[in-house]
Amino acid sequence: MVLVGCHVSIAGSIDRAVGRALDAGCDTFQIFSRNPRGWKVKDLDPGLAGAFRAAVSASGIGPVVDHMPYLPNPASPDAEIYEKSVAALTGELRRCVLLGIPYLVTHLGHHRGAGMEAGQERVVAAINRAFADAGESDVMLLLENTAGEKNSVGTTVDDLSRIVDGIDAAGRVGICFDTCHAFAAGYDLRTAEGVDAVMGELDDRIGLSRLRVVHLNDSKGDLGSGLDRHEHIGLGRIGEDGFRHILRHPAVRRLPLICETPVDERRSDTGNIAKVRELAGA
């Protein structure tokens, strides 16, 4: 048995996301709690937040995962962007509390030429500030590995471990492992040995107890390409055999698996979820 789902829309009202997740055959699902492509955000309507929590409870599926919007860059050397990014992270942590969502996934941004160490320091400071400003809660912030694009922060396990080590509230931070990003960054997930190696590195440097969610995506780019382009499960460079190894690894099999696969005519979200279950032997 695997817990697999996909990213679903909140169009119309946020509580409608639950029905869409059920229609897709999800065991778990991910949302943006707001428009992901802008800085402006409306406060959550308490009635809609309550309706969302009630719908999740009635559905029997979960956990629910929230994803930070696209624009925030907590590694940015630009003071205005940095402050807006901290505010966005703080606000999203609070929204998760209102919605009863246990996990918030964040990208770590780009240092824009200022250097990896400087970028990591800014990310650590941003997270520490956001936790302090948002107040105590049970929401866990999950740091997502990146694909190795130019100036990106958080590409390697070592990068992630340095950031985790700097967080004051250690119990409030975990890892979201994206398979496409890891493969594009040079981690070979096509073999059982490759999957064992990256999971072993995560365990040694960060601890597998911090690994809470997997973004399950195939890759359009080759191994080590640095290309963040997701593909349908089994149709990319990782391939079906790679996903069999990934899905049968004990560290992965126990986790919520979220597909963020393309929207096109080749395969639906329901089809990708079915493919994951097939490859997992479920």
What's the rounded mean pLDDT across residues 262-278? 96
pLDDT category, 263, cuts 50, 70, 90? confident
Structural domains counted in the chain: 1
Q: Is the pLDDT of residue 24 over 80?
A: yes
What's the rounded mean pLDDT across residues 157-186? 97
Strand partners, 213: 176
| Phi and psi angles of residue 30, each rounded to the nearest 5 degrees, phi first | -125, 150
- Residue 71 identity (one-letter amino acid): L
Strand 28-31 relative to strand 230-231, pairing: unpaired
**Catalytic residue annotation:** 37, 67, 70, 107, 144, 178, 181, 215, 228, 230, 260
Nearest to 30 by CA among 106, 86, 87, 85: 106
What's the rounded mean pLDDT across residues 265-276? 96
- Residue 135 identity (one-letter amino acid): G
Q: Is the pLDDT of residue 258 over 80?
A: yes
Q: Is the pLDDT of residue 282 over 70?
A: no
Supply the CATH number for residue 104's domain.
3.20.20.150
What gap in Å lies between CA 220 and CA 230, rounded to an integer? 6
pLDDT of residue 1: 84
Tokens found for residue 211: 């690994």
What's the rounded mean pLDDT across residues 28-47? 95
pLDDT of residue 2: 95
pLDDT category, 130, cuts 50, 70, 90? very high
Distances (CA, A) of 203 to 169, 198, 214, 251: 20, 9, 15, 10
Domain region containing 150 = 3-280
pLDDT of residue 218: 98
**Please, where are the H alpha helices in the chain?**
16-24, 46-59, 79-99, 116-134, 157-166, 179-184, 192-205, 239-247, 250-253, 269-280
What's the rounded mean pLDDT across residues 14-18? 97
Nearest to 206 by CA among 154, 249, 164, 255: 164
pLDDT of residue 41: 94
What's the rounded mean pLDDT across residues 126-147? 97
Residue in the block written with tokens 């897709």: 24
pLDDT of residue 181: 98
CB 75 within 8 A of CB 109: yes
Nearest to 139 by CA among 169, 109, 178: 169
